[in-house]
A and B are shown apart, each in its own frame.
Chain A
Amino acid sequence: MAYLAAKGADKQAAVAGLGNVAFILVLCVAAAAIFGATRWIGNSYAFFAAYVVVQYIVLGTAWNILGGYTGYVNFGITAFFAIGAYSSVVLYKLTPWLPLPVMIAVGGAAAALVGLGTGYLTLRLRGVFFSIATLALAVVVQTLITNWDFVGGARGAYVLRPKLAPLIGGEYIQYLYLVMLGLCVVVLATARAIERSALGYGFAAIRDDEAAAEAAGVPTLRLKLIATTLSGAFMGMAGAPLPYYVAYLDPASGFSLNYAVNAIAMPLIGGTANWVGPIVGAVVVGGLQQYVSVTISSAVNVLITGLLLVLFVILAPQGIVGVAQKWLRRRR
């Protein structure tokens, strides 16, 4: 028995690997290196393209907290994303001097509240019924924004991007990119910490069998609310810098179907089981989309996502990371 316990403890220690603090440091170094590399390319298009990919890592990871870990498929991504974006439009009109990270925090808080409320109203629904309710949420929020004159209504709103980046100098897009990288570090560190905590085990139990989870003592409703709130907050944060990125925001672009499709497709293609999946999916699919928009046409990139999604759902439902893990296990 003692031998078994010791063996188990060894395994636990090996699996745990890096602590959370060490992991954040690694992420920060990686983000700094990536920023340095993008700056070394020295082309402002590189920043615009890389920003989109990093934004999708954040969005995909946010979706995965509810969709992958907890097993509740959210189709209402654009609602949360646009709430973040439009809260920045509101702040830009009222208090334009606020620094961008503060705007992101506000956008995240607004989306978190909507996530909590949506969760409370809809989490009695299971499976596909929950998904339909989130789809309805996206429609409701879009209708509200379209009819809200203060943020431009259907006409849209102009947000003047400052010429120069604060702190680091250079073009403003460099600053947007850096902030998005920082947000990415926060979101990835949170996702990985969840996976290794009691919360992550609770989410997995809910995903596998909600009644059995409840019988094992898991407060399923509370955990699901935590998941919808966190997931919503991160989606809102991902959307908050958008008005500065596009400089002109209207409901059609803020609520674009592309965001919803990509935020679901990227984790599914990369793998939903852990935090690596959304990164792989966003880099592969997002990278391909950027390449195709430049070389072929910007309309083709959605087609690519669709084709890849269908292929993966049929051939490799565990995603790229799942396939890689299987392959490694077989080699051992």
Chain B
Amino acid sequence: MSALLQVSRLGKRFGGFVALEAIDLEVEEGERLGLIGPNGSGKSTLVNCICGTLHNETGSVQFAGDGLDGLTAHQRTRLGLARSFQLPRPFGSLTLAENLRIPILYSVNARVGRHLAGAAIEARCLELLDQVGLADKAQRLPRDLTQIEMRKLELARAMAAEPKLLIADEAMAGLSHAEVDEIIALLIRLNGQGVTVIMIEHIMRAVMEFSQRLAVLVAGRKIADGDPKVVVRDPEVVRAYLGE
């Protein structure tokens, strides 16, 4: 069986700085993958290359059998690849419901055989907000939200595009213990609905609880990939995190 996402020999430089070098990564359909690495190791750059925000100079990305090279970010989203941003980037002048309306109008409705209109869109927005516990704030603006609610909105907006693969880029940074549990439960529930999830995170407790498999990036290279319990004991990973 071929993987849902297949990154092969991917490389990206910024001027003379090599941000990513020959990254290989496969994600099977329905899998929960954790991606960790110290600050500046290239995690977000990898996400940006996969999602089309940045363009990789070498290597290729395959998604659900399609080559993604040369496609813009919005084309990739339409193919079923959604992401949340590390710092929430809501549409500030739109209500929460309208925030979710954008991916429905532009991603879901752009697919063949799917077309939501009028009341159906509104109902779908409320359903999604209900899933993340924000239904009662549907008509509020993002500036009225707390930090965790902002993260939930970010995830709900990614989900509104009805993706096959969701990349959650540090969805939990800065949240309290209980709030982290809430987001993990949310991501596991989404995975249960058939969405493949890549979680990028610094909070090890969350990573270990969530991931079925763990990949580690250090200085633009993948140094480990496998069973989370084995990977965290890998001497090279320990060295990267704790030093000699």
Contacts and interface: CB of A to CB of B under 8 A. Distances in A.
B21 interface: no
Nearest to A202: B106
A68 to B, nearest CB: 11
Nearest to B53: A211
A222 B140 CA distance: 29
A9 interface: yes
B91 A212 contact: yes
Contact of A216 (B52, B72, B92, B107): B107
A266 B193 CA distance: 51
A35 B103 CA distance: 44
Interface residues of A, number: 28
A207 interface: yes
A180 interface: no
A295 interface: no
A261 interface: no
A208 B138 contact: no
Interface residues of B, number: 42
Given A4-B135, A204-B91, A208-B93, A216 B119 contact: no
Contacts of B51: 215
Contacts of A12: 118-119, 122
Contacts of B106: 198, 202, 216-219
A201 interface: yes
B101 interface: yes
Contacts of A4: 123, 126-127, 130, 135
B157 interface: yes
Interface stretch (B1-9, B33-41, B76-84, B181-189): B76-84
A205 interface: yes
Contacts of B72: 214, 219, 221
A221 B74 CA distance: 10
A207 B93 contact: yes
Contacts of A11: 122, 139
Contact of B123 (A9, A208, A209, A218): A9
Contact of B161 (A207, A213, A216, A221): A216
B130 A1 contact: yes
A205 B118 contact: no
B98 A201 contact: yes
A217 B91 contact: no
Contact of B91 (A198, A209, A214, A221): A209
A208 B95 CA distance: 12
A214 B77 CA distance: 8
A201 B102 contact: yes
Contacts of B73: 211, 214-215
B93 A214 contact: no
A216 B76 CA distance: 10
Nearest to B48: A211
A5 interface: yes
Nearest to A214: B73
Interface string A249-276: 0000000000000000000000001000
- Most chain B CB within 10 A, of A1, A207, A216, A218, is at A216
Given A201-B105, A209-B91, A211-B73, 11 more contacts: A8-B119, A11-B122, A198-B106, A198-B109, A201-B101, A209-B90, A213-B102, A216-B74, A216-B77, A216-B107, A216-B160
A-B pairs with lowest CB-CB distance, top 9: A217-B107, A5-B123, A9-B119, A217-B106, A208-B91, A8-B122, A212-B89, A216-B103, A217-B77
Interface of A: 1, 4-5, 8-9, 11-13, 198, 201-202, 204-205, 207-209, 211-221, 273
23 contacts: A4-B123, A5-B123, A8-B97, A8-B122, A12-B119, A12-B122, A204-B98, A205-B91, A205-B94, A205-B102, A209-B89, A209-B91, A211-B53, A211-B89, A212-B89, A213-B91, A213-B102, A214-B74, A215-B85, A215-B158, A216-B102, A216-B157, A221-B72
